[in-house]
């Protein structure tokens, strides 16, 4: 293998509905990141249809691999390892990526690395970024399926210290967006509306699951937005103001939890990750918190917040040497534990 800084990884990510591939050098420099968005195929169903996602991965993945190699101006032969998301995710989607990665590893005689999708998200903030990874850091992972506070002591040593008791933050966004009649996927649409509204228009509850823990809860917030929309006041409310007030409640709860975590543990930085990390309100609030508290915050650019293969390639790069490379009997695991 080449020196650490030069090692080239091909990343493949198909855990949900994005068919994504990437070429990353040294766990940092993104030479190519390709993501074929399937939204158009799922939109009319108001959510992801697993069977459609799986079939689209089959149709798109091979071209997405070629595209990444071409854009990065490298041949498969130049690659030092192949990294693939093993889980968690939709089984029908994961198996497509894992089968493709095994076939490529076999054909090109390259080592195969399996990556936990959730671990992958933590490395997104360091893509195309000059700073070294500031271990130990606290990661706030907020995605469609997960909302967690994670202590990250090294690339392989991670501990969940707070989690949602019910809905994930992205799920709360998507469900609330639906209540507001916004098309799928709701999170980014709600964010765009919130930017035009008054965040102080309505006081939605800031639920602290249990003050003794760092856990989160969002289902009460979603329900109170629903009751509000059904009320007389709600019927006449401007949708932008409802969106902005909902967003303010989510962001307040998340930042308060992060702040409590920093009261309890010594971390060198906060790392934002997951699809909801792309949220404009959350990014602004985290920047303000970081300046106030004097703690560096690493926030990925929006293209690396949502699912992508560059973060999977980067995770494999940082974890290799500690984790073994996988045999070609590797299988996808939709319930892969954290």
Rounded to whole angstroms, how far apart are CA atoms 233 and 227? 10
d(CA 164, CA 149): 9
Helices (DSSP H) in 265-297: which residue ranges? 280-293
Asked if 306 interacts with ligand KG4 (CB under 6 A), we say: yes
Closest C-alpha to 124, from 300, 276, 306: 300
List binders of ligand KG4 among 143-162 (CB under 6 A).
143-145
> In this complex, which beta carbon is closest to ligand KG4, that of residue 92 or of residue 186?
186
Smallest separation, CB 281 to Zn ion (Å):
20
Question: What is d(CA 129, CA 247) in angstroms, rounded to the nearest whole number?
Answer: 28
Query: Which residue is associated with the tokens 């390259």?
Result: 110
Q: Which of 151, 174, 307, 326 touches Zn ion (CB under 5 A)? A: 307
- The minimum distance between CB 207 and ligand KG4, in angstroms, equals 18
Binding mask 138-157 for Zn ion (x = CB under 5 A): -----x--------------
Residue from the set 279, 290, 297, 315 that interacts with ligand KG4 by CB under 6 A: 279
* Among the listed residues 155, 307, 315, 319, the single contact to ligand KG4 using CB under 6 A: 307
- Tell me which of 81, 97, 197, 275 binds ligand KG4, using CB under 6 A: 275
Q: Is residue 215 a contact residue for ligand KG4 (CB under 6 A)? A: no
Residue 186 binding result from ligand KG4, Zn ion, none, given CB thresholds of 5 to 8 Å by partner type:
ligand KG4
Question: Binding of ligand KG4 at residue 170 (CB under 6 A)?
Answer: yes
Q: Supply the minimum distance, in Å, between the C-beta of residue 278 and ligand KG4.
A: 4
Name the helix (H) or strand (E) containing 263.
helix 239-264
| Minimum separation from the CB atom of position 48 to Zn ion (A) | 12
d(CA 22, CA 27): 11
Say whether residue 17 binds Zn ion (CB under 5 A).
no
The DSSP H or E segment spanning 242 is: helix 239-264
Q: Does 14 bind ligand KG4 (CB under 6 A)?
A: no
Query: Taking a C-beta distance cutoff of 8 angstroms, is the pair 317, 27 a contact?
Result: yes
Name which of 105 and 186 has its Cβ closer to ligand KG4: 186
Residue 278 within binding range of ligand KG4, rule CB under 6 A: yes
d(CA 126, CA 128): 6
CA–CA distance, 27 with 126 (Å, rounded to integer): 8
Strand segments, DSSP code E, in 88-199 are 112-116, 137-142, 147-152, 158-163
Binding site for ligand KG4 (CB under 6 A): 16, 143-145, 170, 173-174, 185-188, 191, 274-276, 278-279, 306-307
């Amino acid at each position: 293998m080449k020196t650490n800084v030069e090692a080239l990884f091909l990343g493949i990510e198909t855990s949900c509905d994005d068919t994504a591939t990437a070429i990353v050098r040294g766990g940092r420099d993104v030479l190519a990141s390709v993501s074929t968005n399937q939204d158009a195929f799922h939109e009319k169903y108001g959510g992801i249809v697993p069977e459609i996602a799986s079939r689209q991965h089959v149709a798109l993945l091979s071209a997405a691999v070629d595209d990444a190699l071409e854009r990065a101006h490298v041949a498969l032969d130049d690659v030092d390892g192949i990294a693939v998301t093993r889980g968690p995710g939709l089984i029908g989607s994961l198996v497509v990526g894992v089968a493709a990665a095994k076939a490529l590893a076999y054909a090109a005689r390259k080592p195969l690395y399996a990556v936990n999708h959730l671990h992958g998200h933590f490395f997104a903030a360091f893509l195309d970024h000059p700073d070294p990874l500031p271990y130990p850091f606290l990661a706030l992972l907020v995605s469609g399926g997960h909302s967690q506070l994670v202590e990250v002591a090294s690339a392989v040593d991670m501990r969940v210290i707070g989690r949602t008791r019910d809905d994930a933050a992205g799920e709360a966004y998507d469900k609330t967006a639906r209540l507001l009649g916004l098309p799928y996927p709701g999170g980014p649409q709600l964010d765009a509306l919130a930017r035009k509204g008054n965040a102080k228009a309505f006081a939605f509850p800031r639920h602290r699951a249990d003050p003794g823990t760092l856990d989160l809860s969002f289902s009460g917030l979603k329900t109170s937005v629903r009751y509000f929309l059904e009320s007389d006041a709600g019927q006449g409310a401007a949708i932008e103001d409802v969106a902005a007030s909902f967003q303010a409640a989510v962001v307040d709860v998340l930042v308060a939890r992060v702040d409590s975590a920093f009261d309890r543990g010594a971390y060198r930085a906060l790392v934002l990750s997951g699809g909801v990390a792309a949220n404009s309100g959350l990014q602004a609030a985290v920047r303000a918190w970081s300046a106030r508290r004097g703690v560096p915050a690493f926030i990925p650019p929006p293209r690396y917040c949502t699912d992508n293969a560059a973060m999977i390639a980067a995770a494999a790069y940082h974890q290799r040497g500690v984790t073994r490379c996988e045999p070609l009997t590797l299988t996808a695991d939709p319930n892969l534990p954290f």
